[in-house]
Structure formats: C-alpha cells, structure tokens
Structure 1
Amino acid sequence: MKQKGFYETSMFLEPFNKKTDKIKAQKILALLKGLVRKVEEHYSPITSLSVLGEIDLVLRDPEKINRFTKDSDEIQKDINEILKRFEIISIDKDAISLSSKLLNKSSRGLDPIDVLNFSCAISSKCNAFFFIDSELKNNIYIKEIAKINNLKMSPW
C-alpha cells in the first residue's frame, strides 16, 4: 500500500514562475504529473482545500500574475489537469488546532497558510510533505512536529 504525500501550494505554482530555472520547473511538473518513479511508487498524491484556495487567490491577484510564464486561465487549466490524480482533503479541526499552536509557539515569521497546509498533512496522516518554502524547512518547531508525526519533509 502506498503512503500519502502532501503537495503544498508552492509546488503547483513554482513551475510557472518566470524566475524558476527551466530544468527545476520541468522536474517539479514531472513530479506533479506522476512521472518521477521513485516518488510515484511510494506516495499517493494529496493536497487540501487550503492549497486550492491559495492557488486561486494568487492567480486572481493582478500584481502576482505578472510573475508567471502563462496567463491565469492557462495555469489554472494545467493545474486542474494535474489535480485529476490527487486526493483533495478538507481542513479539519485537528489541522486548525495544530496550526494555532505552531503559530503561537514560533517566533519566526511563518506564513499562516503554509502552517495550515503543513497541519493538514499532519492531521490527515501523510507520510511526506512536498514543498519549496525555506521558512518551513528551517523552522525548529516544524521539524520537531514532522519528526514526531513521521512526516518526511521533502523540499524542492
């Protein structure tokens, strides 16, 4: 039986960012499409409503859309195609509670939506968390909670 791998917002948007190296963008798209065998053999892809909401907000923001290689409709179409293979989970009470605890405990400037996405991965008992954000990667509390919950942090 495959383990669960949670994909955070940055994984879906980074391949379309003008500043992203083309090779890195291709690798992330291959991962999202299920073409990276060593990942695909072990993890079923999961994301959450909070991730989808954040994607929608970014693609609707006229200032943020300028940083992408395609227009928002094209990006949304590509992401929707990718999402066909993903399980989409809701935000539960445990995720909200954990998010609140982490945000109160952390002295570093973590983005609340990133913490919520991380907490969704924990509360849905995911085994891996695929992301790009370095604040998450380097935060001691995030590392501690991930270790306690056997969540492999997989930064790209």
Structure 2
Amino acid sequence: MVATKVEIKEEAINRIKTLIEKCNLNPNVLKYFNEGKVYYSYLTAGGFMGSIDTISYDKNYEKAVKDFEAKHSDCIVYHAIESITAHGKLLSLLYVSSDKEDWESERLESNNNIMSYVFNLDNPDSSEFGYITIDSFMRSGALVRTDVV
C-alpha cells in the first residue's frame, strides 16, 4: 500500500524517536527534521568523538541525499551516518519508502540492524541497499556503524 507524503514524514519522525530512545541519537535531530533539515552522524578527533551536523555542511553529502531522493522519489532520508572504511568513505542513508508493506523491514531491529542505502563516495558504483548495524557512540548523541572496518 502506497503511503502519502504526510504518512511517510510521520513514519520518519517515529523512526527518529526510536533512534533517540534506543541509540541515544541527539534529540535535536528530530527538531531539525521537523524544520526540513537532514542531519548526519560522524566521528571527529581521530575517531574519539561523535558529532552531528546538517547534511548541507558537506556539499557532496547534500548531493548524495538529493540524488537518492530524486532517483527513488518514493523515499525520504531522515538521517545519515558517515563511515571511513577500507572500502572507502561511506554515507549510510536512513530512509522511509512509500510502500507501507516495507516499513517493518526498514525499521531498527532489536539487534540494531537497520535498512539503509549505503552511498560509497569514493566508488559510487559500489553503492547499494542493505542492512547495517548501528549503535550510539559513547553517549555523544551521534550514531556509528559497527559492522564496517
């Protein structure tokens, strides 16, 4: 069943609330999302601090979100997670699709797996949909992927 834009936004808000509750995501992410802004989590200080910032802080990240939403017009991104890995710089886009039947499988699972679109900034052809594992980063309010090296 296809959801309306209002239903998709409500679902995104509920998913952000879940991430706040279960993964200690900074509550300002919800406030900013309600203002029409997407934020992303990343590590700073050599990987010792977690931070969040607006996706437009990095024009490449902003373009990745806009391109994703243009290509997948039935999806909206509500948060992203940057990861620097052996496979390149990755931006995991957490999104809501318009197909309500997919929502259950897109949501955060009890083992902290969540569906995302992983955009490989160094090798865009390697970008793909898939489950990632996330967690809070030292109570910083930022999320981190725990399934990449």
The question of a shared fold, defined as TM-score above 0.5 by the shorter chain, is answered with no
- Flag the structure with more relative contact order, 1 or 2, with Cα contacts below 8 A and sequence separation at least 6: 1
Structure with more of its chain in helix, by fraction? 1
TM-score tier by shorter-chain length is: 0.3 to 0.5
Structure with more of its chain in strand, by fraction? 2
Structure 1 length-normalised TM: 0.32
Structure 2 length-normalised TM: 0.33
